[in-house]
Amino acid sequence: MDPKLAEVSQLFERFKAACAREDVDTCCNVLSKLKVLLTGFSSLPPLFEDTPNAIHELTLARDIYEHAVLLSVKIGDQDAFERDFFQLKPYYTDASSRLPPSSQEYMILGLNLLRLLVQNRIAEFHTELELLSSTALENPCIKHAVELEQSFMEGAYNRVLSAKQTVPCKTYDYFMDLLAKTVRDEIAGCSEKAYGYLSVSDARQMLLFSSDNELLQYIKEEQPEWEIKTGQVIFQKAKESASCKEIPSLQLINQTLSYARELERIV
């Protein structure tokens, strides 16, 4: 076996062992080394050169990145998740024709969807969704994320929160917790638009807090512009955006062009 490949495999074993031990620091260190080593393989994206060990190397690299993604979930580092996921993605998309499918694929894709939902990046969520095949959409991991997004969009926030009980995989928990917060932010945003003010108890109910203290804490941390006066939460109504009329641009352009032409003809 290629010595470089052997080195990577060995290191990868160490990484897995560290993971099992839940030794996060070692994990991160080893992972970083692994990634650097991987840049030495020309068979990996973006070059995809056809080397003799290409399949093996690709599989191994995919494995490493899958673990990296899961590790980032474990340590709750969303940036790392994004980085690792993007580096993993070419293995699923571009190299799919050459590699046997990975058992983790749908789970990780689902995680990514969830992450986008949590970060409230709905547009990107849908972009990702469009890229999936119809069989992938049938997968419970993906389906879960899709349903969540639907509830989220409908405003059925209670359904979103109750969905935590039906997660297909325990790694999803991290994001489900985060989702609750996203939902709350969303509700807060809507209330701000919808109401001038709300009583503290209504607000608490609305924002799905169990106690007033939690509410106050939340307002202090997340919504500093809200005011609390005499048991009322007063929202600063967003300034009404100036209504803009549509400019008949095409018509104007046509007109101007014809003037110009006429003018040139006159002179």
Partner 1 sequence: MAATMVSSAGALLAMLNESHPQLKQHALYNLNKFVDQFWPEISTSVPLIESLYEDEEFDRHQRQLAALVVSKVFCYLGDLNDSLSYALGAGSLLMSLRILIMFILFLMCLNFDHLRSVVDIFKFAGASLVCLTFLFLFLTSAKAIDEYASLKAKATESNAEAANVDPRLEAIVERMLDKCIMDGKHQQAMGIAIECRRLDKLEEAITRSDNVHGTLSYCINVSHAFVSRREYRCEVLHLLVNVYQKLPYPDYLSICQCLMFLDEPEGVASILEKLLRSENKDDVLLAFQIAFDLVENEHQAFLLNVRDRLSVPKSQSSEMVQPKSSDPDPAQNNSSTASEDVQMTEGTSASIAIVQETDPNDAIYAERLTKIKGILSGETSIQLTLQFLYSHNKSDLLILKTIKQSVEMRNSVCHSATIYANAIMHAGTTVDTFLRENLDWLSRATNWAKFSATAGLGVIHRGHLQQGRSLMRPYLPQGGSGGGGSPYSEGGALYALGLIHANHGKGIKQFLRDSLRSTNVERFIYDSAVAGEAAGISMGLLMVGSASEKASEMLTYAHETQHEKIIRGLALGIALTVYGREEEADTLIEQMTRDQDPILRYGGMYALALAYRGTANNKAIRQLLHFAVSDVSDDVRRTAVLALGFVLYSEPEQTPRIVSLLSESYNPHVRYGAALAVGISCAGTGLSEAISLLEPLTSDVVDFVRQGALIAMAMVMVQMNEAGDSRVGTFRRQLEKIILDKHEDTMSKMGAILASGILDAGGRNVTIRLLSKTKHDKVTAVVGLAVFSQFWYWYPLIYFISLSFSPTAFIGLNYDLKVPKFEFLSNAKPSLFEYPKPTTVPTTTSAVKLPTAVLSTSAKAKARAKKEAEQKANAEKAAGAESSSAATNTGKEKSSSEKDADSMQVDSQPEKKAGPEPSFEILTNPARVVPAQEKFIKFMEDSRYAPVKFVPSGFVLLRDLQPTEPEVLSLTDAPSSTVSPAGDSATGQQGSASAMAVDEEPQPPQPFEYTS
Contacting positions for partner 1 (CB under 8 A): 32, 35-36, 39, 45-48, 50, 79, 82-87, 89-90, 93-95, 97-98, 264-267
What DSSP letter does each residue of 203-217 carry, written as one string? Answer: HHHHTT-SSHHHHHH
- Least CB distance from residue 130 to partner 1, whole Å? 14
Q: Which residues are paired to 232 by β-bridges?
A: 199, 229
Cα dihedral 29, 34, 36, 39, rounded to 10, equals -160
- Least CB distance from residue 176 to partner 1, whole Å? 24
Choose between 67 and 144: whose C-beta lies nearer to partner 1. Answer: 67
SS3 144: helix
- Least CB distance from residue 177 to partner 1, whole Å? 25
Closest CA to 35 of 104, 87, 102: 87
Which pair of tokens denotes residue 128? Answer: 């990702």
- Least CB distance from residue 81 to partner 1, whole Å? 10
- Least CB distance from residue 116 to partner 1, whole Å? 14
Per DSSP, the chain holds a count of helices (H) and strands (E) of 13, 3
The residue assigned the tokens 């032409």 is: 261
Choose between 24 and 156: whose C-beta lies nearer to partner 1. Answer: 24
Choose between 87 and 191: whose C-beta lies nearer to partner 1. Answer: 87
Choose between 104 and 191: whose C-beta lies nearer to partner 1. Answer: 104
Choose between 87 and 223: whose C-beta lies nearer to partner 1. Answer: 87
